[in-house]
Amino acid sequence: MIVMIWKKSLAFINGVGSERVKLLGFVTIGHFFIHWFQQFYPVVLPSLKTGLGLNDVQVGALNSARQFTMGALDLPLGMLADAVGRHRALILASAIVFMGAAYLLMGIAPYFFWAIVGSALVGLGTSLWHPAATASLSNKFPERRATALAVHGMGATVGDTLTPLGVGFLLVTFPWDTTLQMQIVPALLLGFLVWRGLAGFFENAESHPSRAGQMREIVNLARNPLFIWLSVSIGLFQMGRLVVQTFLPIYLQEHLGYSPLVLGFYIALQHAMGTVSQPILGFLSDRFGRKATLFPSFIALGVLFALIAVVQPGIQLGLVISAIGLFFYTLLNV
């Protein structure tokens, strides 16, 4: 399957022209680094907790700050990407730089407050990137939108899988604060390359024609009962995910004594299993319906979360984490 997707991607790239390939290349590489910075967070969190002497409540507050910023800013920053389409190169570059600055701040932070600010900046960078990148590809590839977004998504998939291992290696090689601080270097370099590489690319981009119409669409959507129930279910699902995403790394490193490299392996395993399960769950959803797929998946995931605390370290825990990976990220796309 991977070979077939790769061949189709090459055929697609050969047929779209050099300028659009340039855009796709910059955005896909940028997406890899955005997900590098996203998946950097859970692997470094136990080391940050120990280094700053934080308690579990403070650790939860750090991740809550990151998630709250992402959730609160997704909509307004999406509207910003529509309103100032000519400046999308700057928006994309800023997203990467904000991520690097976030980790620099957390690496030099003497107090919990500044670590909170750094965590919020990670969320800001995430929210800045995705609306602008998606809108740019949708506008420039109207006839091949799905393929362009799939190529863009490959950057995320590779980043999600490789980052935990890379960060784990860095943490066993360098002090945790140095590992955080050095992230500003690739962020500044790549941010500059994206800004200069895409300079002038969006000069003719149109702004959103009707802000009032956009707001009416949002209000109508918010009144839809299906949207409300879906939002509640996704919200509960995300609450469970966030708890596991925050405290599973701490459990593995603090309580089981695993090194950051082994921790990175387990998190990478989650993402790898999600890559395998995503097309399968997508097929089941199309074949039997989303409700028939999501309900048993939510139940299975809840049981697997409970098993984390009772299974034996080693093979049993590895199997449970692998099984969690089948649903952990994939259900967001079903």
List the CATH number of the domain containing 63: 1.20.1250.20
In sequence order, which ranges of the chain are alpha helices (DSSP H)? 2-14, 18-52, 56-83, 88-108, 112-140, 145-173, 176-181, 184-197, 211-222, 225-250, 260-288, 290-307, 315-328
Number of domains within the chain: 2
In a shared domain, residues 231 and 262: yes
**Residue 282: per-residue pLDDT:** 77
* Cβ pair 148, 25 in contact under 8 A: no
For residues 24 and 152, is the Cβ–Cβ distance under 8 A?
A: yes
Considering 9-18, 22-31, 197-206, 250-259, the range whose residues carry the highest mean pLDDT is 250-259
Last residue in a domain, options 185, 215, 245: 215
250 and 171 inside one domain = no
Percent pLDDT > 90 in the chain is 46
**Claim to verify: residue 151 and residue 299 sit in the same structural domain:** no
* Residue 323: φ, ψ to 5°: -65, -40
Distance between CA atoms of 164 and 261, rounded to whole angstroms? 8
| Claim to verify: residue 231 and residue 211 sit in the same structural domain | no
Cβ-based neighbour number of residue 192 at 10 Å: 13
- Rounded CA gap, 279 and 157, in Å? 13
Task: Examine the domain organization and report whether 70 and 151 are in the same domain.
Answer: yes
- Looking at the fold, whether 229 and 174 belong to one and the same domain comes out as no
Neighbours of 144 (CB within 10 A): 16
Are residues 112 and 16 part of one domain?
yes
Question: Do 169 and 74 share a structural domain?
Answer: yes
Angle between helices 18-52 and 225-250 (to 10 degrees): 50
Q: 288: domain range?
A: 224-334
- Measured CA to CA in angstroms, residue 299 lies from 88, 303, 305 at distances of 41, 6, 10
Both 205 and 229 in one domain: the answer is no
Domain edge (last residue) among 175, 195, 215: 215
Q: Which of 6-15, 218-227, 259-268 has the lowest mean pLDDT?
A: 6-15
Residues 166 and 233 grouped into a single domain? no
pLDDT digits over 154-165, tens only? 778 888 889 999
| Last-in-domain residue among 215, 245, 271 | 215
* pTM of the entire predicted model: 0.83
Residues 71 and 202 in one domain: yes
| Alpha-carbon dihedral angle through residues 55, 269, 322, 248, given to the nearest 10 degrees | 0
Residue 270 and residue 230 share a domain: yes
Instruction: Read off the pLDDT of residues 135-147 as tens digits, 9 standing for 90 and up.
Output: 888 777 877 776 7
